[in-house]
Structure 1
Amino acid sequence: MEKATNNLPTVILVGQTPPPTTGQSVMIQVLLDGLKRHLRVEYVRMEFSGSVQEMGKFSFRKVSTLVSLIFQTRFLLRRYPDSVLYYPPAPPALIPLVRDIIFLCSVRSLAKAVIFHYHAYGMGGFLNNRKLLYRLARLAYGRADLSVVPTLSCAEEPEMFFPRRIEAVPYGRDLPFVNGIQEERNDGIYRILFVGILTEGKGIYDLVETVSRLVVLGVRIEVRCVGVWQSSEEKKSVEGMVERNNLQGIIQFCGHLEGDDLWTEYRWADVLFFPTHYLFETQGMVVVEAMAFSLPVVASNWRGPCDVVKDGETGILCDAGCIGDYVDALVRLYKNSGLRKEMGSAGQQHYQSSFTEEKYIRSWFDLICELKKTAT
């Protein structure tokens, strides 16, 4: 890949990196670090939310943050008049959308070219029957030079804003997998891992129900759930569900983990269970992480996982919300350790060929350079 020269574009990258740690913030960090190795990148950090619980909520501090963000971005766009503006559109919620409308209408006219990177899904449904809001949103998002989505099943998301070009660039991240094979264990315990925000849309209620049925079937099971709670109300509700089903010694909530602590959980597990039906889902980076660690995946046949998991080869896809299908798939893998190894090995090969950081950054570099040529 080429090194940065004066002939290559400057990228003004606006986005939020951890904290809080979400799939979007992590992948923006990966993109930022990767592009910096090859292009001039000026980074403007969005600092609206310090935690998952703050996301999408109004505060007066966020108003001052927005004003500062506008001034910083306008300064850089004037300093680099031929630059490319990168921006991640908001998830489908009123406050983040209004923020985007104000910000983009204040800055995007100064950019030579604009890239919108859609990390969240669902804006079409949100704007349906909101005609005034849709008109304002079109002023902000309309006719981008390039709209990028993580998977093909999300490609329709930016269509309502008539971008000049839509491309799918799957997330890629370098991960410390070990030898491509999980450690052999003979204690008869089936270890299931869930990673994600602990909320109904990510399937946490479906997980508890599925585990309850597995226990009734006599499966010796341990489950670890890694992630933060979306709300205290959901935490109380799920913990009550766990208690009613006598699963306290089976399901462990580990909280937020990252780095070596998170990788240890992938090495611990026999299978990743990801029963998402999350409105905003676009890829599900945890599925990619699991494959890097040679884990078979049982996931919902939902936008994102359906693009990543090769059904019957690297894992098993089930109809979203179908507890019986989840149970059948997990029991099938429980009874067949050879199939777990086979799917895990195929998953790691799929990761190596499709989801590395090098492939991710290479795709972005090529798109940005192409955009620069067409914009001049």
Structure 2
Amino acid sequence: MKLLIVTPYFPPKTGGVEHYTYNISLKLLEKGHDVNVITTGTDGVKEEILDGIMVRRLKTKNSLSNTPLDIHLVNFISRILKEENFDIINAHMPVPFYADMSAIVSKRAGVPFVLTYHNDVVKNRGPLSLISSLYNHTLLQITLRAADRIITPSPYVYNESEIMKGFSKKLVLIPPGVDPELYSPSEGSAMIKYGLNKESKSILFVGSMNRGHTHKGVEILLKAFSRIESDETYLILAGTGDMIPEYKKIAESLGIGDRTIFTGFINEESLIELYRLSSLLVLPTLSVAEGFGMVLIEANACGKPVIGSEVGGIKYVIRDGETGILVPPGDPVALANAITRLLDNEELAAKMGSNGRKMVMKNYTWDKSVRMTEKVFEDTLNQLL
């Protein structure tokens, strides 16, 4: 099949959706499909081959929050469809616009359209809350109706989303995956880099720390960590974002500045080292904006226990008491108690990490994800013949 993948962001930009889209694209390529990607860029229209994938990057001059807006996108996609024959258009969201414009073009061109819907568009406060609600009831509905099939990696979306209730017959759950050979248990070798010694314990958070992602709950995590009284226990926050200066101030005000480490941007190799180095991973998300939480299965694959909020997709991914611990969202006391429980009971933590690794091997591999994706594409084509 010749596939056109449309996504607002793609590596080298990092994030859960970007990671999912890249790995599915790469695996489809390995299975012999011709994979092309349209995404945003910074230098006009730029074409490049990224690990065998043809990537076309369209410079976007305007954006709303983290949503790139470009009036030229429809014409850009239309031109490519005229120049080349594609079997399937597969667009990714929750970031609006790129998927919506792809849906419009696909219907005009008569090309089957599969939407990968990672999560609901959720904004809890301010003008963006009104805009997202308006979008969910208007343009998004057009896009969902235009889709021949809808893939979701999120068990929350599949089981609970109010938006998806009218489209359940189109909906297919395809969870994300992990490369279990790459993400595997081993001794972490990054201790010296972060100033830790062999007696040190570390709590890891991985995620974006910008103003558009305050729902990740970093402030709650800082408050919880301030309750952990141990000079040899550290909090490592891996990721970038414009909220980091503010989080550093909060850490200082809580008296944990000298035990809190902000790594900034790290590549995948360094991230795996952090998983291996850490005692456990925490994902303290506050809202249903977390459709899955890929860092949970990545940490589990490395043999580490995980703690997450009982909200959104997280509550489906963590098997409470088996692979990790679920806590109420926004509760620093409950989070601190869960962290302490694992830090104080190394046998329990090791058992949960081992169980998590087994769960990942059974349910969450990219090979499994791509087989399911390929079948959706094939079924879509066969139904439309």
Please state which band the TM-score falls in when normalised by the shorter chain: 0.7 to 0.9
- Correspondent of 2:88 among 81, 84, 88: 84
- Structure having the higher strand fraction is 2
Q: Distance in 2 between matches of 1:283 and 1:355?
A: 12
2:173 is the counterpart of 1:139: no
2:227 is the counterpart of 1:221: no
Give 1:268 deviation, angstroms.
0.8
2:204 is the counterpart of 1:193: yes
Provide the secondary structure at the position in 1 that maps to 2:37.
Answer: strand
Q: How many residues align?
A: 351
- Correspondent of 1:43 among 36, 40, 57: 36
Q: Distance in 1 between matches of 2:318 and 2:139?
A: 37
Partner residue, 1:3: none
Give 1:76 deviation, angstroms.
4.1
Change (3 A) 1:58 1:273: closer
Give 1:252 deviation, angstroms.
0.4
Change (3 A) 1:49 1:58: farther
Which amino acid in the other structure matches residue 14 of structure 2?
T
- Answer whether contact 2:103 2:147 (CA < 8 A) is retained: no
**Residue ranges of structure 1 left out of the alignment (5+ in a row):** 1-8
Provide the secondary structure at the position in 2 that maps to 1:86.
Answer: strand
- Correspondent of 2:339 among 330, 333, 337: 330
- Higher mean Cα deviation, 79-88 or 204-213? 79-88
Give 1:349 deviation, angstroms.
0.6
Q: Distance in 2 between matches of 1:104 and 1:305?
A: 29
- Answer whether contact 2:91 2:102 (CA < 8 A) is retained: no
Partner residue, 1:168: 173
**Residue ranges of structure 2 left out of the alignment (5+ in a row):** 44-59, 192-196
Q: Distance in 2 between matches of 1:356 and 1:320?
A: 28
Q: Deviations over 1:189-209 (max 9, x none)?
A: 321111011242111101110
Partner residue, 1:13: 5
- Answer whether contact 2:156 2:313 (CA < 8 A) is retained: yes
Change (3 A) 1:331 1:124: closer
- Answer whether contact 1:294 1:347 (CA < 8 A) is retained: yes
Dislocated runs of 4+, deviation >6 Å: 183-186
CA RMSD after TM alignment: 3.2
Provide the secondary structure at the position in 2 that maps to 1:209.
Answer: helix
Change (3 A) 1:204 1:74: same
Partner residue, 1:27: 20
Which amino acid in the other structure matches residue 217 of structure 2?
G
State percent identity of aligned pairs: 22
Partner residue, 1:108: 107
- Correspondent of 2:382 among 360, 370, 373: 373
Q: Distance in 1 between matches of 2:306 and 2:326?
A: 8
- Higher mean Cα deviation, 271-280 or 307-316? 271-280
Q: Distance in 2 between matches of 1:357 and 1:121?
A: 23
Which amino acid in the other structure matches residue 234 of structure 2?
E
Give 1:318 deviation, angstroms.
0.6
Report 1:1-376 matches (<5 A).
9-15=1-7, 16-47=9-40, 57-58=63-64, 67=72, 69-78=73-82, 83-91=87-95, 96-97=96-97, 100-122=99-121, 134-155=137-158, 156=161, 159=164, 162=167, 164-176=169-181, 180=185, 188-198=199-209, 199-215=213-229, 218=230, 220-229=232-241, 231=242, 234-376=243-385
Change (3 A) 1:132 1:206: closer
Q: Distance in 2 between matches of 1:219 and 1:111?
A: 63
Provide the secondary structure at the position in 2 that maps to 1:213.
Answer: coil
Q: Distance in 1 between matches of 2:262 and 2:275?
A: 15
Q: Deviations over 1:267-308 (max 9, x none)?
A: 110101111125532111111110110000011112122121
- Answer whether contact 1:174 1:356 (CA < 8 A) is retained: yes
Give 1:353 deviation, angstroms.
0.8
When normalised by structure 1's length, the TM-score is: 0.83
Q: Distance in 2 between matches of 1:247 and 1:114?
A: 50
Change (3 A) 1:80 1:304: same
Q: Distance in 1 between matches of 2:133 and 2:278?
A: 45
Q: Deviations over 1:229-282 (max 9, x none)?
A: 1x2xx3332211111122121010001112221111111101011111255321
Partner residue, 2:54: none
- Answer whether contact 1:193 1:273 (CA < 8 A) is retained: yes
